[in-house]
Structure 1
Amino acid sequence: MNKLIEIVNLEKEYENFGVKTKVLKGINLTVEKGEFVSIMGVSGSGKTTLMNIIGCLDTPTSGKYFFEGVDVSQLDDDRLSEIRNKHIGFVFQQFYLISYLNVLENVLVPTIYSNENKGNVVKRAEELLRRVGLEEKKSFKPNQLSGGQQQRVAIARALINDPDLILADEPTGALDSKTASEIMEIFKSLHKEGRTIIVVTHDYKVASIADRIIRIEDGKIID
């Protein structure tokens, strides 16, 4: 396999009112293309900060982060935004669907600045909705859907630009156990297709579905 992500001696420090707090402390991590990895830790362990850096939503204080061989820790905001949009699909606990858009329009949001033929993009969005079992609800608004259905829309949205990485932050945190299992089955099927998936969670049952569990504690990888 080939490396998709390589993190070398990465540290992250925040400063508030003159007080510095080191959140990540010498993180070293490699994720190969096609891996299904979970990053597990309790609240305050640093897992969300690490996820934000992996997703190019934040930058490290020191150390290196290579995404497909490119040192993204040195890139400006425009290039980071481009990588987020074209190469990373995000799935969050709170769904973050736009209330005034329907399901199909929500899936299409990441393609707003795409030069691709609109008909092709819409066709792909409809196919993704078919895949997650929501083709018949493409004209519904988010508030007409259950939590599990909203997360399925979010997964379809994450896939619309055919990303190299799917990054999911507590994707089952707002769902009941049955619906959570159904959502994780979707991730398992995506992995079987060769997708690279990183799930950030505090739940061992969710983490155990991945091929590899990375435990983070007090800003350090412990296992």
Structure 2
Amino acid sequence: MKEIIKLEDITKVYETAGIKTEALKGISLTVYEGEFLSIMGTSGSGKTTLMNIIGCLDTPTSGKYYLLGKDVSQLDDDHLSEIRNRYIGFVFQQFFLIPYLTALENILVPAVYSKEKFSEKEKEAEKLLDMLGLKDKKNNKPSQLSGGQQQRVAIGRALINNPELILADEPTGALDSKTAKEIMNIFVDLNKKGKTIILITHDPQIASYAHRIIKISDGKITT
């Protein structure tokens, strides 16, 4: 099976005012193409730090991180930014939509840096809106959308560059239980279509949608 992610003995140490805090303590993990993985942990467990490293938002203090076979452990910010845009789609708890852009325009934001023709990307965005049940909302701005609809737009934005990996950080944390189920079913459907998904959550019920659950505590994988 194709390895999407391979972490080897990853550590992360933060230093503030001379005080060192070890957030990750030797994390090793492999994620394969087509997996749906949950990383579950409480606040302070290290799951957010791990997500930041997997998402190329941060670099480890030591250890190796291979993304699609390439060592990205110590790349500079410019290279990490390029990798994020090409290979990773992000979905966050707070949506992070641009308030003055329409649903269609928000989905297209990452496409600005794509090498494909923008007109082709616009067609793809239209298809994503249709798939996500938002065809009639393409001209609506975030303030005109419900929380669930905003998260669907955010999922569309994550998919627009056809990334190898979808990284979802507490994607249902700002939603009611009914809407949360609807959003999780979208991730299930995407995984059935072949997308590799890593879900970061503290909620066992949300984690249970994944095929594999990794638990993290005090900077270490416990199961």
TM norm. shorter chain > 0.5:
yes
Structure 2 portions without partners, runs of 5+: none
Q: 2:12: which partner in 1? A: 12
Does 2:221 match 1:221? Answer: yes
1:46-61 correspondence runs (5 A): 46-61=46-61
Shift in Å at residue 115 of structure 1?
3.0
Task: Report if aligned partners of 2:60, 2:74 keep a CA contact under 8 Å in 1.
Answer: no
Q: TM-score, normalised by structure 2?
A: 0.99
Task: State the percentage of identical aligned residues.
Answer: 68
Q: 2:156: which partner in 1? A: 156
Does 2:91 match 1:129? Answer: no
Root mean square deviation, CA, Å:
0.6
Q: 2:189: which partner in 1? A: 189
1:1-223 correspondence runs (5 A): 1-223=1-223
Matched residue SS, 1:121: helix
Task: Report if aligned partners of 2:59, 2:73 keep a CA contact under 8 Å in 1.
Answer: yes
The amino acid across from 2:189 in the alignment is S
- Partners of 1:56 and 1:117 lie apart in 2 by 26
The amino acid across from 2:107 in the alignment is V
Shift in Å at residue 117 of structure 1?
1.5
Shift in Å at residue 17 of structure 1?
0.7
Shift in Å at residue 74 of structure 1?
2.4
- Partners of 1:135 and 1:72 lie apart in 2 by 38
Shift in Å at residue 42 of structure 1?
0.2
Shift in Å at residue 143 of structure 1?
0.5
The count of corresponding residues between Structure 1 and Structure 2 is 223
Structure 1 portions without partners, runs of 5+: none
Runs of 4+ in 1 over 2 A off after TM superposition: none
- Partners of 2:115 and 2:42 lie apart in 1 by 42
The amino acid across from 1:138 in the alignment is K
- Partners of 1:32 and 1:115 lie apart in 2 by 27
The amino acid across from 1:77 in the alignment is D
Task: Report if aligned partners of 2:114, 2:161 keep a CA contact under 8 Å in 1.
Answer: no
The amino acid across from 1:33 in the alignment is E
The amino acid across from 2:204 in the alignment is Y
- Partners of 2:117 and 2:7 lie apart in 1 by 36
Shift in Å at residue 171 of structure 1?
0.2
